[in-house]
Structures are given as C-alpha cells and as structure tokens.
Amino acid sequence: MRESPEESALHRQPAQQAQISGVILPGWPGGRVRLPRPRPPRFVEVLVRRLPIALAVFAGAAAVVGTVVVHPGSAARADAAVTAQAAAAPSSVRRVGTEDFADPGFAHLGSKYYLFRTGAGYGTRWTTSGGWSAIHKSMAAIPAWVDHSKPLLWAPEVFQSSDSRGALYVMYFTGESASRHVHCIGVATSRQPAGNYTPGSKPVVCSPWVSRGYEAIDPAAYRAKDGKRYLIYKSDYRNASGFQIRAVQMDTQTGTRVVGKSIAKIVSSAKIEGPSVIAHGGKVWLFASRGDYINCSYNTDVWSASTFWGGRFTRVKTLMTTKSTRLCGPGGGTVINVGKTTRIAFHAYVDANHNGVKDSNKRQAYTGVLKWDTKGRPYLT
C-alpha cells in the first residue's frame, strides 16, 4: 500500500529550522537551541518527579466490578520473554527530532499528524511535505489556576470535537494547582489544531482525594462507539502509593465538561501511569506506562476489556521495553487509529550505546506502527 504524503512524513526527520523567540532560523541542526544543563542529583529527580513518570508494575490482576486490582509478581514471569521479536529494533520506529520531547500527545487532525510535548507552552510540531515542522508554542500563557512559580505543565492530549461555531480543538493537560498545591487536569480550546489554545479559569478534574494530597495527571481522551466521551487519568499520592487509572464521563459534544463521577478502571499496588485508550477488533485497549520513569526500566503495558465504562480491564502483555526497542525507557505513549492503521508516539531517553543506561535526562519523541497478532494482541512492528 502506498503511503500518503502525511504518512511518509512520519518517516522523515523534522525540517532543519528552529523557532527562537518567534524567529525562524533556517538550517539550525536539530531544530532548536538547547544549552547543556547539569544532571540533577538522583534525589532531586525523584522528588521533582516525572515528565512522564513511573512504574514498576509487574502486574497480575484481581478484578473488582469494572476495576482491576494489580499486584506485582506473576506478570513479571509471564513477560520474561518479550524476547524473540526483541532481538532487533522494530523497523517502523522513527525518531522525531533530537529535542527534549517528553509525553508526546499524538493526534491526526485534518490531513496532518501533530505531536505535543510536556513543558511550558506545550510545544507542538506537525507533519509537512519535508518531514516535520519546527517546534512552536501551542499555549501562549500559563493557565490562571496553575501555580506560576512551579507550573509543572505535563502530558498534553489533543483531539477534535465541535460546538455551535464548528470545529473545536480540545487539549487536556496537567498543571500544579495554586490553591490546592497538587496536580489537577485542565482543559484548553482552540479553533486551529496547532496553537492559540486558551485554558479555562479552573481545573476540570482533580483526584477524588485531592484534599488529602492525591494528584490527577496524564489525561487521555476516548470516545466510545456510542458517542460518549471520557477523560482517563492517573491518580496517586505523591507518586508513592494509591495508584489508579480512573475515568470520568465528559459532555458528548465538546468533551470539555464533566457530566458524572469518576470511577477506577485499574487499581495498582505499584506505579502505573500515562494511559491511552483505543478500540480495535471488538475490544477496548488501554496502554499504560510502568517502571521507574527516571531510567531505562520504564516500559509500556497493554490491557483490554470488552467495553470501556462497564468492562473489566485485564492485563494482556508488555508492549515495549528497553530490550525490545533498543531505546531507553520507552513510555509516555499515545496510541491512535488512523483508518485501518494503528500508530503510537512515545518517548525514550538518549542511550547512544544501547547499554540500558541513559546518557542524559533528555527524552526524545518516536513514532511507530502497531499491528495485531493472530490472537488479536498488539505488537510494535
């Protein structure tokens, strides 16, 4: 099958230009100017945590009415061989630039693919006839409800809906609440996919236990077959306990307003985060990261259920590890269906020697194609 120009662009490097203070500089290698920064001490990394975060969930699963309770142990043995196809790096995987691009939100909007990254301004780039654009800010200002002294803006997710005026582009994002001193999730909207996202004046979702210091991070969007929209996120206590993947129903038209209470979809005794949900083959698939986000143990798991809201999610397999991809800590992913093709964007640390040890704290973005085996399970090609 011949690729469209947009699909071909997924296999090319970004255009050789950079935007610095609104000025495009042609021919700048790597697309952006970055000054070297010293690596922080380990305890600082752990306390400041995340920019897609964590997880050592070698999960085995006991279900509780629509919720899966995960305990470390049995799944580790079941996954002992993500091996045979791990010998060589998957051939569909392509790096998108050399910049720091953690937690890539991934969307196909109109005729283009878009990536959005963690960090102030939620930098975005999109496919062009020559590969990928330079990085541009998609949100001009820090949201009013976010602590401006430490905004901790993470993990954007963008999708298209509509309102009375026509097409509406919606961004879910994470920020540190100035009033609650904990992470919550906000919503921003725009009339164009690449930028000018305007955030609401207050968060749309916080953890049910926000008053006890629990956070809500890593939002994802899912629209079910019946048209209902859901916001899926991670809740936990200071990245130390109480790990859950939760979901709340949003208004059907725009996906910007909560219309019900949240429920737990996965409950874990170990770290789990960064959910992404799609439908395929009559099932709903939930992808999530696990392991320690600050090193190469970070990886990606897959769960499935018969339906999203009322279904019970069961852990299926490990999709990506450092060994299977030859990339350090592949996680923070977003999975999308475009026509009959399933694609994924994720990040990984720089590990030039492929020795399972990161070279720096920079996480670069990658895209790849997922296919489905004879048992209906996804794998990275």
Whose CA is closest to 347, among 115, 44, 151, 47? 115
Cβ within 8 Å of residue 355, ≥6 positions away? none
Place of tokens 């255009």: 15
Whose CA is closest to 231, among 255, 201, 264, 203? 255
Rg, C-alpha atoms of the chain: 19
What is the total residue count of the chain? 381
Give the Cα separation of 335 and 286 in Å (integer): 9
Q: What is the largest CA-CA distance in the chain?
A: 56
DSSP codes of every residue in 180-248: TSSEEEEEEEESSSSS--EE-SS-SB--TTGGGTEEEEEEEEEE-TTS-EEEEEEEEETTTEEEEEEEE
Active site residues: 103, 273
